Amino acid sequence: MKEPDRLKDWQDLAATSHYLTVLEIENVLAEEDLEATRAGLDALKQALSRVEKRALTTQLVRLMAHILKWKTQPHKRSRSWTVTIYDARNEIADSQEEVPSLNQTFIESIWPKADRRARQQAENEMGVVPVAGELTWEEVFETEYHLLLEE
């Protein structure tokens, strides 16, 4: 098999199943094919990186959507919204701890796309257009969100 084809096969396999990729890496390692082993490990590493990035992006969109709802519909604020906000923040922090490359620079690189998706999600959930203006880092990661007694 030609080298580009083999690389494409590794990429396809890693995109399809991480488990099957590990099994195939074990097979080529048992055959002492170090070049194929390296290629398989690289494809698996790239696939796992994409999974981690998607997971963080999903949590960021979830977090931003709930903050938009919080700002747009103060009369509908609930404990579940505060729980969701803090849970999403914790999930993002956990991802960053496990994968240091998912840092502030990475988050800032996906911020505009996450903001667009969060606005769409919030609008779909509320049935109204969210407040205007892009959310700030402070609003998303630093502002405390609590229900007041009168809320």
What does pTM read for this prediction?
A: 0.83
Residue 48 within a domain: yes
Domains of the chain: total:
1
Q: Which residue has the tokens 């796992």?
A: 48
Residue 58 within a domain: yes
Residue 6 banded pLDDT, cuts 50, 70, 90: low
Residue 147 within a domain: no
Residue 81 within a domain: yes
103's torsion region: left (phi>0), alpha (psi -120 to 50) or beta? beta
Per-residue pLDDT reduced to its tens digit, 99-135: 999 999 999 999 999 999 999 999 999 999 999 899 9
Which pLDDT score, from 0 to 100, does residue 148 have? Answer: 76
- Of 11, 98, 14, which Cα lies nearest the Cα of 56? 98
Residues of the chain with pLDDT > 70, as a percent, come to 93
Over residues 19-44, the mean pLDDT reads 92
pLDDT at 27 over 60: yes
Per-residue pLDDT reduced to its tens digit, 55-64: 999 999 999 9
Residue 149 within a domain: no
Residue 117 within a domain: yes
Residue 75 within a domain: yes
Tell me which residue range forms the domain holding 87: 3-142
